[in-house]
Structures are given as C-alpha cells and as structure tokens.
Amino acid sequence: MTGSCGVDFGTSNSALAAVGEGGVELLRFEEESATTPSAVFYPPGAARPLFGRGAMRAFSEGEEGRFMRSLKRILGSALMGQGTLVNGRRKSFESILADFIGGLKSSAEARFGRELDGVVMGRPVRFVDDDPEADAQAQNSLEAVARGVGFRHVEFQFEPIAAAFAHERKLESEKLALIVDIGGGTSDFTLIRLSRERARKFDRSADILANSGVRIGGNDFDRDFNLDSFMPHLGYRTIYGEKNLPLPAGMFLEMSEWAKVNFLYTQKTRLTAKELLRESHEPRKFGRFLKLLQDETGHRLLASVEEGKLALTAREEARIDLGFIEGGWRLGVSRAAFDAAAARRVEGISQAITESLTQAGLSEGAVELIILTGGTTEIPALRRAVLERFPRAAISEEEKLSSVGLGLGYDALRRFGVEA
C-alpha cells in the first residue's frame, strides 16, 4: 500500500503530514513535537547524517562534524551550484537537501507503516524576489530533490494557501481571510474566501483573491539584530591601519547568516583576519571575531542571537551568555534595540500586505479573519504592525508552527486520495 503526504520544508523548521484511512496526521518528532528543526549534522565517518533535533543536539554539545541550517535559503541562489566541503569532502547542496528531506520521508514511512509515493511540497510565493527565472529554478531544484528521494508524484502548493486549508475546517461561517505566513526565510500573504462548504471544492482558484510574498523572514530579523547589537562588539564598523579604513564588512555579513557562515571557515579567511587584527584600532573586539573563525563557532553565535530574539519577545531586556567567545562575557540586549533593527523589515512586510489588498481591490476593513502562522509572527513590533491595521478582524493562530504542514496534508488528500 502506498500513500501520500504534505511536506513543509521550512527555513527554520519543517513538518510532514501523511494521508491515511483515518484522515490526515502530522508526523510527531522528538518530544511529540509537530515540527523539527531544518538542520543536518554530519559526524566524520558516519554512514548517515543526523537531522532535526539530533543535529541541533550534536552541534550544541560540541561534537566533531559539519552542521548546517537554513538550507532552504540556498534554493534559487548562486550558492546552489557551488556545493560545500563536508568533513573535508565536496558535497553538493542537492545531496544535502536530499539527506534532510529523505530523512523526513523515511521517518514518516517507519511511523505510518507505508510507502509515501505522492507529495505536495510547500513553497513560498516567491523563493526569490523580482527574478522569475531564479524562482522557477528554485522550485525545479526542490522537485528534483523530492523525486530523487523516492516521491513519484510531486505537486506544489503555496504555503499561505496551505495554512488556510488547515484552518478552514474549523470555521462556523464563511470568512474573508488574510493569511500572514512569516517563516524563517520568506513572508507570504493570501486573501482567500474560506468556509467548510468551499473546502469540499477541488478547484479553489476562484476563492483566492490575492497572493503576494517577499523574501523577508525570521533569519533576516536575526541578521539585522546581530549586526546592530552583537557584531559591533566583535569589530564590526571599527577601523584599522594608518588610513583609518573600516574593517571589511563582508566577513561580518557572512558571519550573520546561517546559510553562509560555513564559507568563512577557511585558512585564507583566518590568515586575512590575523593580518587585519595586527592593524586593528580595537584589537580586543576584532580578536573575538578571529576566535569565532579559529574555533569555527559562528553557528553558536547565531544560536545566541536567536536566543536573544526569543527572549525579547517576552521581556524588554535580556543578557546573553557569550562565554564561549570570551570567558564570563554576558552581553546585554534590549527590545528597543531589536525594534530599531527590525523597522526596515517590518516596513517591507507591511508593503507586501498592501500589495495583496491592492491586488484584490479591497480595503483593510473588508478582512474578517487574520490567520497568523510561522514563529516570526511572535515578534512584538511585527505583530503590532499587522494587527493594528485590522482592528475589526478576528485572529486565529492555532498550531502556527505546523498549520502549513497540516494544510499540505489536506491538499495531498484532495489531489491523491487515500492512496497515491
């Protein structure tokens, strides 16, 4: 017996929902979580990598090996064709993506006891802004990976539409809904008419009034926060040499992104940093940056930045332990500084919402329901910016981390039936 599923391959977290006789069921990972981190870890000499929480745990405990996260952001970029070194050997990003997505598939098949033949893969409205060719290539690459791990039938659905499908079955009456799906790498918005009756239709194109997206997500908020509140303490925007030149910004920018930090761990970069340190006007600060390069602990810094962001969703100030860089160092960060760093991204998201309303020819007052999905919707400044625009609309945010995966499962049931 074969079956089908929906796969939400996210920048930060992923989910899978399988179709069976009993309906649609989310795959439960460690600790019965409906999502797993989109991360892989390659221990030297191991036959298979670790993925999800196992990968995160191996990395956080300092095990030897290669750790990678935010792989989705490579789709559609120039990095996709470059590959990377994994424990001293060249490995393509296609095979790395296949290891992760294949791991999801194998776990689900073991859990549900059947081969998964068909899949509806989620995709953002735009993998890449203002570049249709790169956007199409991103989907083609993801489709090739899905087929490579054994899915014979591969379909795609926009992630915010999938989130709408997950919420629709609980509605008591028809609603005009705005789906606000803000993930780790992209923000997507859909205006759609929802009801239990409409959920029975196979063709939902007439119900979708607008669909827009922008390549802004949680990783971008982290990056800007990192550059504003962390990197200045590691030498960013300080000067060196007799001509008082700023230290090259490129290395700090790469150290602020999960998808790029691995490319800094080279002998050439370390030698360049050592030369700059000799001429640095603030050697203590830049020495901390060099230590990250030498110890290959840039990922730990990124995890600390994410920890700071999460802490500031609940309180105004936090102190982040950076003792792995310098003994006893605890850096103070504030909500006000985070909000200032986030302002440009919040404005970009607000403009994308306006684009959706303009596409549909609707005013803000016409929206009856706001469906929030994705962990980034917890950021206070972003949340305020969205909700204050629609004061009369009801708010739904149940299962915000797994609703896209669940909706993709319902879409798989609609497309493939109980058996693929």
Together in a domain, 155 and 26: yes
Task: Supply the angle between the helices 267-279 and 283-295 in degrees, to the nearest 10.
Answer: 170
- At residue 224, the pLDDT reads 97
User: End of a domain among 336, 353, 370?
Assistant: 336
pLDDT of residue 22: 77
What the block records as the tokens of 27 is: 């795959």
Residues 166 and 229 both lie in one domain: no
The pLDDT, as a whole number, for residue 258 is: 87
Does residue 358 lie within any of the structural domains? Answer: no
Task: Indicate if 26 and 152 belong to the same structural domain.
Answer: yes
Arithmetic mean of pLDDT, 306-322: 96
List the domain range (segments joined by +) for residue 23: 2-170+398-416
Q: Do 313 and 251 belong together in one domain?
A: yes
pLDDT in tens, 88-139: 888 999 999 999 999 999 999 999 999 999 999 999 988 988 889 999 999 9
The model's confidence at residue 420, banded by pLDDT at 50, 70 and 90, is low
CA distance 25 to 42: 30
pLDDT in tens, 365-396: 999 999 999 889 999 999 999 999 999 999 99
For residues 29 and 145, membership in a common domain is answered with yes
The verdict on 82 and 162 lying in the same domain is yes
Tell me, yes or no, whether 316 lies in a domain: yes
The residue whose two tokens read 């929480």 is 53
Q: How many helices (H) and strands (E) does the chain have?
A: 12, 20
Q: Is residue 392 situated within a structural domain?
A: no
- Lowest-confidence range among 59-63, 140-144, 270-274, 289-293? 59-63
What pLDDT is recorded for position 397?
86
Cβ contact 39:50 at 8 Å: no
What is the chain's mean pLDDT, rounded?
A: 93
Instruction: State how far the Cα of 387 lies from the Cα of 346, in Å rounded to an integer.
Output: 12
* % of the chain with per-residue pLDDT over 70: 100
d(CA 306, CA 300): 10
pLDDT at 62: 82
Question: How many percent of the chain have pLDDT more than 90?
Answer: 76
Task: Indicate if 307 and 228 belong to the same structural domain.
Answer: yes
Mean pLDDT for 208-224 is 93
Task: For 127-137, write each residue's pLDDT tens digit.
Answer: 988 889 999 99
Measuring CA to CA, how many Å separate 331 from each of 53, 279, 319, 327?
26, 26, 5, 12
What is the Cα–Cα distance from 86 to 64, expressed in whole angstroms?
A: 12
Three-state DSSP class for 282?
coil
- Which pLDDT score is estimated for 79? 80
CA dist 401 to 117, 268, 316, 378, 406, Å?
A: 25, 40, 24, 11, 10
Question: Do 154 and 53 share a domain, yes or no?
Answer: yes
The secondary element (H helix, E strand) that includes residue 331 is: strand 330-334
Residues 19 and 119 in one domain: yes
In a domain, 196, yes or no: no
Same domain, 121 and 16: yes
Quote the number of domains for the chain. 2
Residues 15 and 109 in one domain: yes
Does residue 183 fall inside a structural domain? no
